[in-house]
Structure 1
């Protein structure tokens, strides 16, 4: 198995004036985040596995993942799965490749942003993401691309952190931490209403569970998990 092929299968779209801003790697934050998520991998999975276990159950043989980072979700994929991984942060790539090889995952690495996927319409049966829509420049554009590349009847399984209810202590903390959190975690926003964005994305059916983590990472403790399906 060759888990290191980075050749894109399709020509990227030409940029337009409305194209979302491309991800720009940072020489310090990129390596820091790769190390951070590697070091805390088991702890973060301990917090999230009850939701991920049900979300990522019975995935098809080919899966598109947005923002796989260092490969936290590879443990939920069967050996032999073809993973189309959209990860524009080069600091994550070596760890992602190594982990895919250990897990016997056939990795197809794409370095485009999720706002403009270099995949044909109706080309995949399943898209997954976890803690990704908080960092992209335009969640609506990403969700439109997910809807575009899914085949009829395909599913999008997601886990994201969201804004706490207005007027709560946690919402005030999210607001206070906004700028340093955004800088350290490469654009991550603690205050997005991603449930509304997903529900407005044109899927035929969406089920969402809201829950709260109990972790020291307070700004991201309000979360949602769910599945959206494209009309068949």
Structure 2
């Protein structure tokens, strides 16, 4: 695949301190977070094809779900993640095509991929609707977008109150991450032919992060 498409997208402004902090945080906390999410990831990331596009690959938390010898086209604008991602891909025998781009503008041709995945990414992007439109653009007919994301809690719950109180420090620490997005609604409104979503709740110390969804949207 060649990087031929040029589209307008928000620039990613790398913050030297927070970028490095997030790379270190997810390298350290990744096994714990993945352990909590694993039952849901195993379902939506089951039987991935040999070439997968991932939005926000980070330090490689989802590499274990890819087939050995496969190819990951990683859309990851945070340069602080890149060294760990390359090392993790090499250890797992995954060919890495790393692209320092935002999810709103992957640079991939129309209708060129079978599967796009994301986890804990749509909370952070500047324009979720634009990202979902980009996913639909690059998927072949019948291709799938597979996702595991944290979402806004139900109104009137203690978790929703915590999300409101912590939204600004949370967003500052985690490079714009919002704990108040209705991402299920966004995916369902994005024009996919079929959307299947499971809602669930984790039990971690990261309270704003605990309401989650896992699902598959078909182009």
Instruction: Name the TM-score class by shorter chain.
Output: over 0.9
In the alignment, does 2:97 pair up with 1:108? yes
Q: More deviation in 215-224 or 36-45?
A: 36-45
Partner of 1:13: 6
2:55 and 2:116 in contact (8 A); partners too: yes
How far apart are 1:41 and its partner, in Å? 1.8
Show the counterpart of 2:176: 187
Structure 1 residues 62-71 or 38-47, which shifts more?
38-47
- 2:154 is aligned, of 141, 165, 170, to 165
2:76 to 87, 90, 93: 87
1:14, distance to aligned residue in structure 2 (A): 5.1
Structure 1 position 23, deviation (Å): 1.3
Count of paired positions: 219
The RMSD of aligned alpha carbons is 1.1
Deviation at 1:30, TM superposition (A): 0.5
- Structure number with higher helix proportion: 2
Q: Structure 2: how far apart are the matches of 1:37 and 1:169?
A: 26
CA contact (8 A) 2:7 2:105 kept: no
The alpha carbon displacement at 1:117 in A equals 1.5
Instruction: Describe the superposition over 1:178-215 as per-residue Cα deviations: whole angstroms up to 9, x where unpaired.
Output: 10000000000000000110000111100000000000
Among 105, 110, 114, the residue aligned to 1:121: 110
1:223 aligns with 2:212: yes
d(CA) in 1 for partners of 2:208 and 2:85? Answer: 26
State the secondary structure of the residue aligned to 1:148: helix
Please give the TM-score of this superposition, normalised by the length of structure 2. Answer: 0.98
Aligned residues of 2:49 and 2:67 also touching (Cα < 8 A): no
For residue 11 of structure 1, report the CA deviation from its aligned partner: 3.6
CA distance in 2, matches of 1:67, 1:144: 16
1:66 aligns with 2:46: no
**Cα distance in 1, alignment partners of residues 36 and 167 from structure 2:** 23
TM-score (structure 1 length as normaliser): 0.92
